[in-house]
Amino acid sequence: MDPELEAFIPLFPRADLTDPVAARRKLAELAGAVPAPDTADMRIEDRTVPADPDVAVRIYRPHRAQGAVVWLHGGGWVMGDLDTEHPWAARIADGSGAVVISVAYRLAPEHPYPAALDDAYAALNWTVEHAAELGVDPDRIAVGGHSAGAGIAAGIALRARDQNGPSIRFQLLNQPGLDDRQETWSARHFTDTPWMNRDAVTAAWRHYLGGAPATPYAAPARAADLSGLPPAYIAAAEFCPNRDENIVYALRLLQAGVPVELHQWAGTFHGSHALLSAEVSQRQIAELCTALRRALAG
């Protein structure tokens, strides 16, 4: 474990998803402890995307942005909202120079799959349709997110490919949840890792799927064909149950002819980038921003 991160482990709670309401409250408390980013150089606006039902989004607009990213928060498909994601969405916008459309997708278990995916896909279509209003090139739209949100981003990339949907420039996938089967070494053996462990991941998938069989749009690792997908940046944490499915997905994308940059962050755990005082966390956030900036450049 990275020594700077290890010092925080006694203070870092476990993700307990047996009580979704309590879990949401705990995540809000954690997010409230994250230092607020400087947003003086960007315009922030709450909007509503017309859909069934409508989807709330928060738009972060840096000056002279060229492209945009539809951004999906983490939280095991059960936790998180526009406010808990604010520290990260604002940092991504500031560091990448991209317009960030942060999506308040519906949460499980009240709204199991495909609710979150449908909300994210509606936000993607809206972003492309309103590119001129947002001041960005419609051919420079990316999808991305943390954890469960990154899994949703990978799912809408598959759906857009299969349904001749919007053209997606790039996938920015940070520690994505991709495989409900939990058959990899890390998924089976990381039973006591900080924040997320096997039991928490099992509960998250159970809430998200609501007892229905997983489809490739819900669990992208189940997709038989990964060809024709957008280029991707995938980040994995060493002590994370999702680690091996992240690495396998990156390799499968490469074997399908999709350009991929893969970074397995040694000494980190799932969500540890929230500990911003650690040097490795600062590098993780900076690299996400750099990858997105480069992907949306001319």
Across 100-115, average pLDDT: 98
The per-residue pLDDT for range 60-87, each reduced to its tens digit, is 999 989 899 999 999 999 999 999 999 9
pLDDT of residue 11: 81
For the segment 196-219, the average pLDDT, to the nearest whole number, is: 97
Nearest to 275 by CA among 194, 203, 204: 194
- pLDDT bin (cut points 50, 70, 90) of residue 100 is very high
Tens-digit pLDDT profile for residues 224-256: 999 999 999 999 999 999 999 999 999 999 999
Domain ranges in the chain are 3-295
pLDDT in tens, 142-151: 999 999 999 9
Count of residues making up the chain: 298
Helix (H/G/I), strand (E/B), else coil: 266: strand
pLDDT at 298 over 80: no
The domain 3-295 having CATH identifier 1.10.3720.10: the answer here is no
Q: What is the pLDDT of residue 294?
A: 97
CA distances from 37 to 41, 42, 143, 277 (A): 11, 11, 22, 13
**Averaged pLDDT, 167-182:** 98
Write down the pLDDT at residue 12: 79
Mean pLDDT over each residue of the chain, to the nearest integer: 96
pLDDT reading at 13 higher than 90: no
- 30 versus 289: the higher-pLDDT residue is 289
pTM exceeding the 0.85 threshold for the entire prediction? yes
Token output for 40: 């003086």
Query: Which tens digits make up the pLDDT trace of 14-39?
Result: 788 999 999 999 999 988 888 888 99
Q: Determine whether 280 is exposed, middle or buried from the number of CB atoms within 10 Å of its CB (0-12, 13-18, 19+).
A: middle
